[in-house]
Amino acid sequence: MTDVSVDLRSPTPVYEQIRSQVAGLVAVGVLTPGDRLPTSRDLARDLGIAVGTVQRAYRELEATGVVTSRRRVGTVVADAEPDRPGAAAVTELRAAVRRARAGGLGDAAILDVVHGELRTVRPTDEMTVGGES
């Protein structure tokens, strides 16, 4: 899983950087159900960070149902649940990214829009996405 990297100078905690990147890789289908994640020790070594930091990221991923961890099996991507909360929103976001790229926006501009929306739209705002409320 060489797609994960960390920025030690970032204000975002390292465990959160790992958690969000792995969750993103699962959301877009780069990591699929049953794929094994590296051991905490291996990923920590590869990234040059503490094992406990990777373990915290994996615990957070497990708590949200993105991965499952079992002795002797390790940490694997959980089975896809079409009824998982947010599944429809992820589909909508994927389509929006494709439309934005087709419309000429680069990745940095798309991320700027998303970050801006995250700052201005409060989680308690009632919104509809794709006809859902």
pLDDT along the chain (133 residues), means of 10: 87 96 89 94 96 97 92 90 67 87 92 86 59 45
Contacts of 132 (CB under 8 A, 6+ apart): 88, 89
Find residue 70's DSSP bridge partners: 74
Q: What's the pLDDT at 27?
A: 83
Q: What's the pLDDT at 83?
A: 60
Q: What's the pLDDT at 121?
A: 80
Q: What's the pLDDT at 46?
A: 95
